[in-house]
Amino acid sequence: MQGRSRRTLFIGCCTACSAEEVAGKPVPKQDLSLHGLSASLSLKDLSVSLRGSNLHVFTLAELRTATQGFSGGNFLGEGGFGPVYKGVIGERVRAGMEAQPVAVKLLDLDGAQGHREWLAEVMFLGKLRHPNLVRLIGYCYENEQRLLVYEYMVKGNLENHLFHRFTSLPWSTRLKIAVGAAKGLAFLHGAEKPVIYRDFKASNILLDSDYTVKLSDFGLAKDGPEGDNTHVSTRVMGTQGYAAPEYIMTGHLTAKSDVYSFGVVLLELLTGRRSVDGKRPSRERNLVEWARPYLKDAGKLSQIIDPSLDGVYSIKAAQKAVSTASQCLSHSPKLRPQMSAIVETLESLLDFTDGIVGSLVFSVEPDNDGDEANEKSPRIAEINLETNLHFSHTEMRAGNGFLRHPLFSEKLKK
Ligand X SMILES: Nc1ncnc2c1ncn2[C@@H]1O[C@H](COP(=O)(O)OP(=O)(O)O)[C@@H](O)[C@H]1O
Nearer to ligand X, 76 or 244 (CB): 76
Give CA–CA dist 212/154, Å, rounded. 10
Binding segment (CB under 6 A) for ligand X, from list 79-87, 249-257, 323-331, 374-382 = 79-87
Counting contacts by CB under 6 A, is residue 152 touching ligand X? yes
Binders of ligand X: how many residues, by CB under 6 A? 23
Minimum gap (Å) between residue 203 Cβ and Mg ion? 5
Determine the angle formed by the axes of helices 255-271 and 315-328, rounding to 10 degrees: 150
Counting contacts by CB under 6 A, is residue 77 touching ligand X? yes
Which of 16, 46, 76, 312 lies at the binding interface for ligand X (CB under 6 A)? 76
Which of 62, 217, 268, 395 lies at the binding interface for ligand X (CB under 6 A)? 217
Helix (H) or strand (E) holding 21: helix 19-22
Minimum gap (Å) between residue 410 Cβ and ligand X? 39
Which of 17, 18, 79, 137 lies at the binding interface for Mg ion (CB under 5 A)? 79
The mark string for 175-214 relative to ligand X (x by CB under 6 A, - otherwise) is ----------------------------xx-x--------
Counting contacts by CB under 6 A, is residue 247 touching ligand X? no
Counting contacts by CB under 6 A, is residue 79 touching ligand X? yes
Binding segment (CB under 5 A) for Mg ion, from list 174-182, 203-211, 313-321, 398-406 = 203-211
The three-state secondary structure class of 139 is strand
Which of 126, 138, 156, 333 lies at the binding interface for ligand X (CB under 6 A)? 156
Which of 78, 117, 159, 217 lies at the binding interface for Mg ion (CB under 5 A)? 217
Q: Which of 199, 217, 258, 306 is flagged as catalytic?
A: 199
CB 114 within 8 A of CB 220: no
Give CA–CA dist 353/357, Å, rounded. 8
Nearer to ligand X, 205 or 328 (CB): 205
Give CA–CA dist 317/237, Å, rounded. 33
- Clarify whether 199 is annotated catalytic: yes
Binding segment (CB under 5 A) for Mg ion, from list 173-181, 214-222, 326-334, 375-383 = 214-222
State the DSSP code for 159. Answer: H
Start-to-end CA span in the chain (Å): 41
Give CA–CA dist 205/342, Å, rounded. 17
The widest CA-to-CA distance across the chain, in whole angstroms, is 96
- 210 bridge partner residues: none
Choose among Mg ion, ligand X, none what residue 267 binds, the Cβ cut-off being 5 to 8 Å by kind: none
For strands 213-215 and 100-106, give the pairing.
unpaired
Q: Which amino acid is at 268?
A: E
CB 312 within 8 A of CB 163: no
Percent of the chain as helix, strand, coil, to the nearest 5? 35, 20, 45
State the DSSP code for 305. Answer: S
Which of 67, 157, 172, 233 lies at the binding interface for ligand X (CB under 6 A)? 157
Choose among Mg ion, ligand X, none what residue 139 binds, the Cβ cut-off being 5 to 8 Å by kind: none
Give CA–CA dist 257/248, Å, rounded. 10
Give CA–CA dist 283/303, Å, rounded. 15
Choose among ligand X, Mg ion, none what residue 219 binds, the Cβ cut-off being 5 to 8 Å by kind: ligand X
Q: Which residues bind ligand X (CB under 6 A)?
A: 5, 76-82, 84, 103, 105, 134, 150, 152-153, 156-157, 203-204, 206, 216-217, 219
Q: Which residues bind Mg ion (CB under 5 A)?
A: 79, 204, 217
Residues annotated as catalytic (active site), given as ranges: 199
